Amino acid sequence: MAIRPIIRFPDPRLHRRAEAVVDIDDEVRALARDLTETMHAAPGIGITAPHVGVLRRLVVIQLEGQTEPHVSINPEIVWSSPERIRHVEGSVSMPGVNDEVERYARVRVRYRGLDDREHEEEAEGLMAVCFQHEIDQLDGIFWIDRLSKLKRDRLIKRFDKLQRLKA
């Protein structure tokens, strides 16, 4: 296992669509382990392969209280509730800033697991938000793209200032 470098906003790879994983082999399993370790070190509760520059459709989520990470390969939302919720989001690729994003309150997600089987599960609340956030990333939609232009511009300025202070 290894902690991989996380690509930072505004890297253009964060806006590229990830490719489907065809075979769940040792390379994919190693990537899932590396993503888990990288997410813990960041720290974060969700990460995708594109966050480390690998344009493959692989997501790892681990909420507080969960003993094992949730690994989703080629996840897709197959149903979403009519109800919406707002939740504060951020990204391991844009540390130090966050803002409120509106998402579906519940979703049903279909994905393959590391066991190479198809799974389908319904999620609500924070887990639903995480699925939507990370699947957006796989589709090349960075979380700030969900903000108004005004909020996005302010957030980018705040992030740029934080980066200058760290330099």
Nearest to 129 by CA among 146, 112, 148: 146
Residue 1 lies in a domain: no
* 62: CATH: 3.90.45.10
Degrees, nearest 5: CA angle 35-103-90: 45
Give the pLDDT confidence score for residue 104 in this predicted structure. Answer: 98
Give the pLDDT confidence score for residue 160 in this predicted structure. Answer: 96
The string of pLDDT tens digits covering residues 101-111 is 999 999 999 99
The range of the structural domain enclosing residue 131 comes to: 12-166
The string of pLDDT tens digits covering residues 118-140 is 999 999 999 999 999 999 999 99
Degrees, nearest 5: CA angle 98-104-110: 105
Amino acid at 113: G
Active-site residue, from 64, 120, 121, 134: 134
Q: How many structural domains compose the chain?
A: 1
Instruction: Assess whether 134 carries a catalytic annotation.
Output: yes
Q: What is the pTM of this model?
A: 0.96
Mean pLDDT over residues 75-100, rounded?
A: 98
Residue 7 lies in a domain: no
Give the pLDDT confidence score for residue 167 in this predicted structure. Answer: 75
